[in-house]
Amino acid sequence: METANIAIVGAGKGGYECLKVLLTTPNVLIKYVCDIDPNAKGVMLAKQHKISYVARLSEFIHDPEVDLIFESTGRPEVFEELSRAKLPTTSLVGSGGTRVIFSLLDSYNEVNRSLRSYKMNLERRIIERTEELEKLNTELSKEKAATERLYEQQREINEEKSRYLIHTTHQLKAPFAAIHNYVDIILDGYAGPLAQETRDLVLKIKTRCELLSETILDMLELARLKAQDLELVREDVDLCAVVNDVVERFAVSAAAKRLLVRVDAPKEPLIARTVGKRLFELLAVLLENAVKYSPPDGSIEIAMKVASDGKRVISIMDHGIGIPEANLGKIFREFFRSNNAVRFEPNGNGLGLAIAGEIANLLDITIEVESELEKGTTFHVRI
């Protein structure tokens, strides 16, 4: 953009204000300030900035380099004289137009000042934020290292806990087996006849022993799964055969509640590369729960298919009590049981699904759950 050469006529208050604005306006060169008073405020400012001061119009009016004259005296005769004397190539703005233009210029300069201030603040804030991010990255690196150390410590603690749990449960198995045997001996009459009240009490002891023995075995299994103290040999497994074995295992308990277990299996073998024994245990937990939490005279459906992503899917659907939505994310936790499950079946230890979840993790299996209270639950096992 070319520089505009400007002359200001009148260096009083108006001329002084115009001069101040023009001094901060880019691409503007003030060549002359004209006023009959050499001590006018605008003249003093012009001299400070080494701008030529003239007392008469004739001293600059014929300068061809002057592009624009601002007449700021407000006197009509001065404007008329400038109109007659100026060169055709020089533009002239009267006092009214000067006020408008300088108002716009002042606004323009104010915007520029604001933008410069904003830019400086923005640059300062960017520097501050950059420093904060660098500091944060340093802190995150330290926290990451600390987290990794904690994770390693937690892993060691979990391994130690699993070893201790395995040892403890092994120690408990024999005493509870002995108690169970003694209870059976008493109930069979080898210790003499029992009053009915005594028999009822011993039967309760037997029930508790069975539950505790089952819990001990489940805790032992869960500890081994967590410690990965298992031999996992993957092989091609016919999922239809595994499902049939699981159904056969619970046929008696299902028949006792008059539950119909329907299996929708493909005609051809459905093969997956997995560990058949562990998959059987996982499906056994799910079918046992389906039988346990279904009302009598109901049904359980088991379906098998190949999903669009190539995974084998086994779905076990019951029409039982269901799982509260708020508890769906908790069901694989150790010892967790929903309130409605406890009411429906008091005898349970809350370890079955925890075992199923650990087996799924070991075998890279995904278990998805859908449930609605009083309408049933479906587990989708994706292999």
- Upper half-sphere CA count for residue 312 (Cβ side, 13 Å): 20
- Please, are residues 9 and 71 in contact by the beta-carbon 8 Å criterion? yes
Same fold yes or no, 4-93 and 235-382: no
If phi > 0 it is left, if psi is from -120 to 50 it is alpha, else beta; for residue 231 that is: beta
In angstroms, rounded to a whole number, what is the distance separating the alpha carbons of residues 30 and 65? 11
In angstroms, rounded to a whole number, what is the distance separating the alpha carbons of residues 163 and 161? 5
Query: In the chain, where do the E strands start and end?
Result: 4-9, 28-34, 52-54, 68-71, 91-93, 235-238, 260-264, 271-274, 299-306, 312-318, 366-372, 376-382
* CATH of 235-382 given 3.20.20.30, 3.40.50.300, 3.30.565.10, 2.60.120.380: 3.30.565.10
- What is the topology classification, in CATH, of domain 4-93? Rossmann fold (3.40.50)
| Position 298, amino acid | G
The residue written with tokens 């299994």 in the block is 221
Domain definitions of the chain by residue range? 4-93, 154-227, 235-382
Question: Virtual CA dihedral for 36, 38, 44, 49, nearest 10 degrees?
Answer: 80
Token pair in block for residue 276 = 């058949």
- Please, are residues 103 and 95 in contact by the beta-carbon 8 Å criterion? no
SS3 assignment, position 276? helix
Q: Does pTM top 0.75 for this prediction?
A: no
Q: What is the pLDDT along the chain (383 residues), one digit of tens a residue?
A: 678 899 999 998 888 888 888 888 788 899 999 999 999 999 999 999 999 999 999 999 999 999 989 888 888 898 899 999 999 999 888 876 655 565 655 665 565 667 677 778 777 888 888 888 888 888 888 888 888 888 777 766 666 665 655 556 556 666 766 776 777 888 888 778 878 888 888 788 877 777 666 666 666 666 667 666 566 789 999 999 999 999 999 999 999 999 999 999 998 899 999 999 889 999 999 999 999 999 999 999 999 999 999 999 999 999 999 999 999 999 999 889 999 999 998 888 888 899 899 989 989 999 999 999 999 999 999 99
Among 374, 373, 329, residue whose Cα is nearest residue 353: 329
